[in-house]
Structures are given as structure tokens and as C-alpha cells.
Amino acid sequence: MIEYVVPGNIDDRVLERCSRMLSEGALIALPTDTSWSIVCSLRSRAGISKLRKLSGERDERHFTLLCSGISQFGELCSLDNSRFRLINRLSPGPYVFILKPLLGAEKALGLRRPELGVRIPDHEVPLSLIKTLGCPLYSITAKHSMADAEWDDTAPEAPADEGPLPIREEELFEGGWELEAIAGIDCILDGGEERERVFSTILDISGDEVKLLRQGTGPWPV
């Protein structure tokens, strides 16, 4: 199902309907300021399980929490003044920040490693949905390879690897209608615009120094 929306003026009824779906374990595809993402509610164990099975990944570095503001980061991750200032300077935008999760977030997501990627996207669709839902969205980049895999809600998770491999540009989607090929997505929020096939920049700020893990469309250093 595709819901066509106008970014910046999204029908409240659509947001409320999608919020209810997420709370019940649905997966929703939506645009961000980089490429298309598939999301579930942070508060839905069923949704998190479905997202992991659809992605075929176990490594947390493939997943990102989308938040509407830095205050939500503080509820999930260890955040001091220096990290706050860096995030505040680069957000909203195409940056993922790797932080140490608090115990509550670690348990909610069943993390296998003590790190969590978080970001504030510069796009009205995810921001509006997060605000309506009242909690962050757990997300993964939508890839064409997901359309080739058979949807199996009981499928075993893929074995852990040594880290996320770079995604090829041709693996990314441009138009929302293309994501209809992925079984398991319950709704696509489509603003009508094609997305650039670009990546976010990933910065590991969990330690004493900032480490660039992936150079994407967000410049670094700045």
C-alpha cells in the first residue's frame, strides 16, 4: 500500500494511521534526506523482529535509530557535553552517530554489541511520523536485494559478520513505487519525489576520539 503525502503538510489522518500500524508491529518504507529507509517502532518487539528478518542482518551497525531531536538521544545513549555539541552542529542532516547505549535501549533492541547508531534526518516525513508515534524509529536502508529474498516470518537470522559491508549505489532505490517489490512492507509513505542514491556519513563518537567509519554525503571533517 502506498500513501502519497506532501512533505511539510502531511495529512494528520495518515500519520495517525501509520502510527497505529507501527505500534502493532508494521514495517513502513519512507524517504529520508539520503535514501529510502524501512522502519519499525522502537517500542514494538514484533516490528523489530520483522525488520531484522527482512534485512537478514544481525550486526547492529546495519541499523539506525531515527530521532526527532537530541533529547531522544539522551534517553537512549550516553551523551556528554562535547558529544552533544557535535551532534547539535551536524543535525538534522545526513550523519549517523555511533554512541554507547544505555541499558534500557540495549535490552529493548537486544543489542549484541555495546554501540548504537542514531541520527536526526533532515526530512519532514520521518520527523513527522516520529513525533506522532512518540518514540524513535528503528531503521535500515532499503536495498534491491531485499526484493529478491522470499519473505519468511520464521526464517532464521543471518550469521553475524565482522561488520557492515559498503552498499553499492545501484542497490539503492529512487522512487517509492519501486519498494512495492519488497514483501513484508506494510505501507510506503511517498512524497512523490525521487531520492538521490546517497549514503549518510557514519561517525563513531563512542570513544575519546571521533572516528570516521563511512564517508557519505555529509562532509567530514567540517
The domain locations on the chain are: 2-214
CATH topology of domain 2-214: DHBP synthase (3.90.870)
Mean pLDDT over 170-192 rounds to 92
Q: What's residue 106's pLDDT? A: 81
Grid cell 512533505 in the structure block, residue: 7
Mean pLDDT of the chain: 88
How is the chain classified by DSSP, letter by letter? -EEE--TTS--HHHHHHHHHHHHTT--EEEE-SSSEEEEEETT-HHHHHHHHHHHT---GGG-EEE-SSHHHHHHHB---HHHHHHHHHH-SSSEEEEEPBPHHHHHHHT-SSS-EEEE--S-HHHHHHHHHHTS-EEEEE--THHHHSPP-TTPPPPPP-SSPPPPPGGGS--SGGGGGGSTT--EEEE-SPPPP----EEEE-SSSS-EEEE--SS-S--
Q: For residue 74, what pLDDT is reported? A: 86
Look at residue 175 and tell me whether its pLDDT is greater than 50. yes
Identify which has the larger pLDDT, 34 or 160: 34
Query: What is the predicted pLDDT for the residue at 81?
Result: 94
Q: Please give the pLDDT value at position 117.
A: 93
Query: Using alpha carbons only, how large is the chain's radius of gyration in Å?
Result: 16
Of 59, 27, 40, 3, nearest to 192 by C-alpha is 3
Are 55 and 140 spatial neighbours (Cβ–Cβ below 8 Å)? yes
The whole-angstrom distance between residue 14's C-alpha and the CA centroid of its chain comes to 20
Whether the predicted model's global pTM rises above the 0.75 cut: yes
The answer on pLDDT for 162 being more than 80 is: no
DSSP code, position 93: S
Query: pLDDT per residue over 112-138, tens digit each?
Result: 788 899 999 999 999 999 999 999 999
**Please, which pLDDT band fits residue 168 given cuts at 50, 70 and 90?**
confident
* pLDDT surpassing 70 at residue 77: yes
